[in-house]
Structure 1
Amino acid sequence: MTKFPTRLLEARMKSTLTLNQVSEATGVDVSIINRLETGEYNAEPIILCTLASLYGVSADWLIGSINNPDRTLSENEKAAAAAIRSYDLTAFLEQPFVHNGKPLNREAKKKLYVMAQLLLDQDE
């Protein structure tokens, strides 16, 4: 099962909107929203984007592609991305990376940097 139904329901609960209110705000039928939240129906892209916008989260977060529901990157994420793009290992190593609640050590950060560079080089 995908994360989408769970995250969609979580986003609606955090917004404190009822199914009827979401339906009124988006024009999506209540039964469709309910089926999306229970995983019985897959969202069309336009519905996905509409709901993400209403709830103030990213569509990527709703579908489980990322773990940060915010639409924008944090300052640390922006700094890490800039360091990768500019091939600045020193700046990258200064970033406070955490995995499973524990900070990454210097060697783990180096491995992460190399993997990120490999992925970026593949796309070129």
Structure 2
Amino acid sequence: MTRLQLRLVEARMRSGLTPAQVSGATGIDLNTIGGLETGACVPDPSHIRTLADLYEVSADWLRGHMNNPTSSLSEMEKIAAKAVNSNDLAAFLEQPFERNGKPLNREAKKKLYVMAQLLLDQDD
């Protein structure tokens, strides 16, 4: 199972809802709910947002972009996560990362980018 599938099931179970109840609450077809949880359906971004709202979790958490289900990413973190997930090194390097209050240089940002990719790839 993918991280998305596991988290959809986990969030639904934490909420104490059946797939039928989720369908009724969101208007998403019951077969689609099941397909998202089993991987038979390609996730539509609007469905992910709707389910995240219902389950009171972050859509980024559902997608596996963060480990805390209820916190949200800053705008910079969202851009950086998107850059890592889309293999966009140039966009990642544009971010103003700091360590101990000092800006990271280009080489340090490249290392950070590689580490982020490795971390994300380990959990798939």
Sort the TM-score into its range (normalised by shorter chain): 0.5 to 0.7
One-letter amino acid of the structure 2 residue matched with residue 53 of structure 1: D
Aligned length in residues: 89
The one-letter code matched in structure 2 to 1:89 is N
Partner of 1:48: 48
SS in 2 for 1:47: helix
Counterpart in the other structure of 2:36: 36
What's the offset of the Cα at 1:118? 2.8
Unaligned segments of structure 1, at least 5 residues: 74-84, 93-112
TM-score by length of 2: 0.59
- Aligned-residue offset at 1:2: 2.4
Name the amino acid aligned to 2:30.
V
* DSSP-derived class of the 1:20 partner: helix
Distance 1:86 1:43, change over 3 A: closer
Q: Tell me, yes or no, if the aligned pair for 1:2 and 1:64 is still in contact at 8 Å.
A: no
Q: 1:102 maps to which residue? A: none
Q: CA deviation at 1:16?
A: 0.2
Measured against aligned partners, the alpha-carbon deviations of 1:3-30 in whole angstroms (never above 9, x if no partner) come to 0001000000000011111011100111
RMSD over aligned Cα atoms: 3.0
Distance 1:88 1:30 in 2: 47
Aligned-residue offset at 1:39: 1.2
Give 1:71 shift: 3.4
Q: Normalising by the residue count of structure 1, what TM-score does the alignment of the two structures yield?
A: 0.59
Q: Deviations over 1:44-86 (max 9, x none)?
A: 011010000000111111011111111336xxxxxxxxxxx79
Q: Which residue is 2:15 aligned to?
A: 15
Distance, in Å, in 2 between the alignment partners of 1:60 and 1:72 is 8
C-alpha displacement of 1:88: 7.0
Moved over 2 A (4+): 85-88
Do 2:5 and 2:37's aligned partners in 1 also have CA atoms closer than 8 Å? Answer: yes
Greater C-alpha Rg: 1
- Provide the C-alpha distance between the structure 2 equivalents of 1:2 and 1:88, rounded to a whole number of angstroms: 32
For the residues of structure 1 that align with 2:98 and 2:33, how far apart are their CA atoms?
Answer: 44
Question: Which residue matches 1:118?
Answer: 109
Tell me the CA shift for residue 32 of structure 1: 0.7
Q: Which amino acid aligns with 2:13?
A: M
